[in-house]
Every structure is written in structure tokens, then in C-alpha cells.
Amino acid sequence: MGLLDDLEQEAQKKREEKEEVLARKREYFKTTTIPAMENLYDYLSRLSKSLNFLKTERRTRFKVIGYGDVVVKIENDMTIQAQMPMYAREIKLTVTGVIDTASCPMIKVEGAGKVDALAEAFRRCGFEGMQRAERDERGNILSAQFQPLGKVQMVASFITDMNSETLRMEFANFDNLGVRKESVAITSLNDDLFDQIGKFIALQQNYVVRETVSDDMREAWRRGLSNETQKREVEQKIAVQQVKEMERLEAQKKPGSITERIKAVIIDSSEPEQKKDEPGLLGKLFGFGKKK
């Protein structure tokens, strides 16, 4: 047997191994993944119909750094969509959150830098917050009142494909302004997990999966899930610090600030007082003022 025969046999062996792996993946997707995703879709469909019909009032709160809590009322417009290509599945649940402006405090912010920083924080969250601004004769902002208004789109996505035996879950703007990511094995999709997912979507609990890993791993996951929130907090703190620095520099430029620093320096040009017992100049020359 020559070199060419050896190479052809090796290539054929690898092709057969690859086909065997693909066949196992197709079979798993067909017999395990698809039924599990169909059950999940059925559960979410029933959940959305029930919540929309009951019209139970649901509210949540989102924290905006520099402002405080934004109260959001959940609408009864929950919808379910499914994408079903040949070897992948995606289920998407969407619902609208409307900001309850009347339940949110009205605050006044002084200074152009602070106003810009807070307005940018609201824009990053996806809604407006500045209601009214006071300007000088040149049009520069002196102060502004903030009270949020608008809508927040809440989306839950469930994604898997033939090359994975796990379900990827993403929850945008449910328990905070950002995306919570979770992964579970396809085989763990059962009634208990469906119930946990349903309670999280219905805002009855603030977790999806109870973790059974070590504390260190749990903390690492928590940090990963809150990346976007932490990023916004850091950016907001930097912006506030920059505003304080600008105000400090502006204060140093104001007239009188140098004068205040040298108030303690007093130049005394008055003549020293003569001692009572010491004669004056004439007394020294003609003897006036001598003691007898």
C-alpha cells in the first residue's frame, strides 16, 4: 500500500468520524432540544396570555446613578415570537415598561456640568429625564429640573442550536437596566425551571436559576452579569468628579480670591508710642523732664 492509499484512508476515516459526530448532534437536537424548546414556547405562550388577560398591576424600579429610583409600570402587551431554522431555535418574549413619571421625584440640578452629566446618564438608560432648563442670556444652562418619562423595552430571549446542548437565556431590563445572562443544560428544561423563569418574568422574584456553585464562582458570575451597570456607575462618577474639578477651577478665577488669601498680612506704618517716663528730644537737650 502506497502513500496515496494511506492518505486516502486517513481522510476517509476523518470524514466518517465527522459525519458520525454530526449525526449524533442532529439526533440530539431532534429528540431532545426541539421537544424541550416546544415545551418552553408553550409555557411562555400560556404565561403571556394569562398575564395579559388578568391585567394584574406589576411595577419595578430601576436605579439611575445621580438621580435615584425610576418607577416603571408593566403594560399588558406581552408577546411571544419564535424563530425556527432547521438546526436552531430562538424564542423571544417582549413586554413594555412605561415610566410612572408621577411616582418619580422631581429634582433640581445646579450647574451646567452637573446638568449635562445627569442628562447623559438618562440617555444611556434609554429615556429622557430633563424636563425644564434655566439659561443665561447667552443660552448656557444654569440649572435644570429632572423627572424621567418614556418607555423601557423588556426582552427575554432563549437561544440554542445543534452545536450546543445548552440553552442561552438573556433578560434585558427586567431586574435592572441592562442584560442578565444565564445558561442551562437543555436536559434541565422541566416544569420547575419553567416556573422559575415565569416568576422572574412576572417580577415575583429577582433570580432565574438558583446557583449551586461555589461562592467564588457565584461572585464571578454576578460581576459578569452586572458589567453594564457597573460601567455606567463608573462613567457617572467620573463625570461628577470632572464637574467638581471644573467648579473648583472656576472658583479660583473669581475676583477677590487672591485678596482673601492675603487678608492676614497687615502692614503697620504707624510710629511707635513713646514711653511715658522717657523725655522727648527737647528734654534731652535742655534738661526738661529730668527727675528731681
What per-residue confidence (pLDDT) applies to 283?
Answer: 54
What per-residue confidence (pLDDT) applies to 277?
Answer: 54
What per-residue confidence (pLDDT) applies to 264?
Answer: 47
| 292 residues of the chain, pLDDT tens digit each | 688 878 888 888 888 888 898 999 999 999 999 999 999 999 999 999 999 999 888 999 999 988 999 999 999 999 999 999 999 999 999 999 999 999 999 999 999 889 999 999 999 888 888 988 898 888 888 899 999 999 999 999 999 999 999 999 999 999 888 899 999 999 999 999 999 999 999 999 999 987 554 556 556 666 666 676 666 677 677 767 776 777 777 666 655 555 555 454 444 445 555 555 555 555 555 555 554 4
Per the CB < 8 A criterion, the answer to whether 91 and 144 are in contact is: no
Per the CB < 8 A criterion, the answer to whether 43 and 194 are in contact is: yes
What per-residue confidence (pLDDT) applies to 136?
Answer: 85
pTM (predicted TM-score) = 0.67
What per-residue confidence (pLDDT) applies to 267?
Answer: 47
Nearest partner of 122 among 143, 149, 95, judged by Cα:
149
**From CA 59, how far away is CA 100, in angstroms rounded?**
9
**From CA 274, how far away is CA 93, in angstroms rounded?**
97
CA distances from 215 to 158, 184, 206, 211, 273 (A): 26, 18, 18, 9, 81
What per-residue confidence (pLDDT) applies to 292?
Answer: 46
- What residue ranges in the chain does DSSP mark as E strands? 59-64, 68-74, 79-83, 88-99, 107-110, 128-135, 141-149, 151-161, 166-172, 179-185
Domain coordinates in residue numbering, the chain: 8-248
Which are the contacts of 62, defined by CB distance < 8 A and separation ≥ 6? 69, 70, 72, 125, 152, 173, 176, 177
What per-residue confidence (pLDDT) applies to 66?
Answer: 87
